Amino acid sequence: MICRTLREIEEMVGGYELKEENENKIIQGVTIDTRQIKAGQLFVPIVGERFNGHHFIKEAIEKGIAAAIWNKNETIPDIDIPLILVDDTLSAIQRLAKSYREQLKVKVIGITGSNGKTSTKDILASLLKSKYKTQKTFGNLNNHLGVPLTILELEEDTEMAVVEMGTSNLGEIELLTTIASPDVAIITNIGEAHLDELKSKENIAQAKLEILKGLDSNGLFVYYGDNPLLNKKIKNMNINYKTITFGQDLSNTYIPRLVSSDEKGISFSLDKFHCPPFYLPMLGKHQMYNATAAITVARYYGISFEQIQDGLLNVEATGMRNEVIHTERCTILNDSYKSNPVSLMAALDTLYSMKNYNQKIAVLGDMIGLGTDEVNMHREIGAQIDPEKIDYLLTIGPLAAHIAKTARPRFAKNKVFSYRNKTQLVQKLKKIMEYESIILIKGSRMLKLEEIVEELQSEEFLEKKEVV
């Protein structure tokens, strides 16, 4: 993590009015959240729509912060810690991260895309660890605050940093890539996520391609080569970076082929390369593409195929994404972090492929952020669901109700149900669920469907089987 004197911090953020007696005081790490403070950190209070971090300064002091950056327009309370004044604390933490990154010798790999960012990040970090000291974005800290915090957490001797970059609007990834200055940029794919803000797939592709604005002039660009829109935009940009593509089209540099898939993971091979198949203990055919994107970068940095084999076996995956949870009564496929048409169909394909279960149930929530055509996109999912491959379909939310309505005529009677209330949905699960079932939980983050996952693991649920 960053360890600097307050004088150095003041220079890095463009601050002022630090008292001379505090210039040599050292901070170790940066925080914006009083709930996660560690002694000796620099506190950067952020002003949001519904909160103002400056109001928590006394709590931060009680927990041991060494100093704070302070918005010049905020009233300074009667406190006895060093302060550095700035025009805006959000801009200050971003400038601090950019300056710190410029001082490090680390290689940064930036990852963006509509789907697969987090899985690709997790896989790539595991591969790079076999040869380099590696750090990665923690959890899902991939926005205008998450990326700076990720950079500021890097140790001075970190050799590889895998940084996830998310967006919901044009200009956001340009900011993030300018802060992180990646040596490698990856675009996993282009889908329908954030259509409500970005309005079109063309704008989504444009937003993802902003990652190149911070890419080192001698850097590597890796992208999904099967997307016509992405290919068209890249061709029109006259890119001079070294590029590597992955996908099924024969023109791609890396072409993965699925060998087998089961409830423990997938096996896949790579065309054009003389190496044995790879095994990845993550569920779903779509993970093959995420792994391939990671392999391209690992090979670029000299990781052998043997090291890649080992790295794939030891991926530390971020939770709530195709997370398999076993209970006494059922297996839960927890994919509750987000949902859009591409990721939802991938999750359903994974559910279809699971073997040796007495019953398969899909619990699907609203897909948020799809723009003006969101109702039709939900209807299209309902039309694509295969009634021969799942036993029950339960939806939750007003948009997901359109999935149920479209799917219902193709299912047997009383096999499709739609709810607005999680408690009612869980009660229905209690009635219909058999032992040794598998249940997919998939929905946008706003719905907090992990609450259903938690309920399915509760002692009350496990012990009680209601009679239909």
Instruction: Tell me the pLDDT tens digit for each residue of 135-155.
Output: 999 887 899 999 999 999 999
Q: How many CB atoms lie within 10 A of CB 238?
A: 6
Nearest residue to 324 via CA among 432, 436, 439, 422: 439
The residue among 203, 171, 152 whose CA lies nearest residue 163 is: 152
Rounded mean pLDDT of 264-278?
Answer: 91
- φ/ψ of 148, rounded to 5, equals -60, -40
Please, are residues 45 and 52 in contact by the beta-carbon 8 Å criterion?
Answer: yes
Q: Work out the angle at residue 354's Cα, subtended by the Cα atoms of residues 353 and 357, and round it to the nearest 5 degrees.
A: 140
Query: Residue 16: what are its φ and ψ, rounded to 5°?
Result: -160, 170
By the 8 A CB rule, do 185 and 296 touch?
no
Q: What is the pLDDT of residue 283?
A: 86
Is 323-463 in the same CATH topology as 104-312?
no
Give residue-wise pLDDT tens across range 355-396.
889 999 999 999 998 888 899 999 999 999 999 999 999 999
pLDDT in tens, 206-247: 999 999 999 999 999 999 999 999 999 998 888 889 999 999
CA pair distance 332, 347, nearest whole angstrom:
12
Domain spans of the chain, in order of start: 3-89, 104-312, 323-463
Beta strands 42-43; 67-71: pairing state: parallel
Q: Are 190 and 138 in contact (CB under 8 A)?
A: no
**Cα separation of 428 and 466, whole Å?**
9
Structural tokens at position 277: 């198949």
pLDDT-derived band at 26, boundaries 50, 70, 90: very high
DSSP 21-84: GGTT-EEE-EES-GGG--TTPEE-PPB-SS-BGGGGHHHHHHTT--EEEEETTSPP-S--S-EE
* pLDDT score at 466: 44
Find the mean pLDDT for residues 199-207. Answer: 86
Q: Which pLDDT does position 155 carry in this prediction?
A: 97
**The domain defined by 3-89 carries CATH number 3.90.1200.10:** no
* CA distances for 115 relative to 164, 173, 245, 287, 322, angstroms: 12, 15, 16, 11, 13
Give the percent of the chain with pLDDT over 70. Answer: 96
Q: Is the pTM of this model over 0.75?
A: yes
The superfamily CATH assigns to domain 104-312 is Mur-like, catalytic domain (3.40.1190.10)
The residue-averaged pLDDT of 117-136 equals 96
Tell me, what amino acid is at 366? D
Q: Is the pLDDT of residue 468 over 80?
A: no
Query: With bands split at pLDDT 50, 70 and 90, how would you rate the model's confidence at 202?
Result: confident
**Crossing angle between the packed helical segments 374-384 and 341-353, to the nearest 10 degrees:** 20
Decide: 174 and 327 in contact? Cβ < 8 Å: no
Confidence of residue 467 (pLDDT cuts 50, 70, 90): very low
Q: Residues near 98 by Cβ (< 8 Å), separated by ≥ 6?
A: 148, 151, 178, 179, 181
Burial environment of residue 468 by CB neighbours within 10 A (0 to 12, 13 to 18, 19 or more): exposed
Digit-coded pLDDT (tens) for 410-438 = 999 999 999 999 999 999 998 999 889 99
Q: What is the pLDDT of residues 102-124, one digit of tens each?
A: 999 999 999 999 888 999 999 99
Which pLDDT tens digit goes with each residue over 36-57?
899 999 999 999 888 899 999 9
305 has a pLDDT exceeding 70: yes
> What is the rounded average pLDDT for all residues in the chain?
92
> CA Rg, the chain, in Å?
24
| Rounded Cα distance, 393 and 441, in Å | 11
Q: Token pair of 259, please?
A: 């060998």
pLDDT bucket at 284, cuts 50 / 70 / 90: confident
Contacts of residue 35, Cβ cutoff 8 Å, sequence gap at least 6 = none
Angle, vertex CA 365, rays to CA 361 and CA 369, nearest 5: 145
Sequence length of the chain is 468
Is domain 323-463 in CATH 2.60.40.10, yes or no?
no
Structural contact between residues 351 and 331, judged by C-beta atoms closer than 8 angstroms: no
User: What number of other Cβ atoms are within 10 A of residue 307's Cβ?
Assistant: 16
Contacts of 87 (CB under 8 A, 6+ apart): 71, 72
Neighbouring C-alpha atoms within 13 Å toward the C-beta of 55: 5
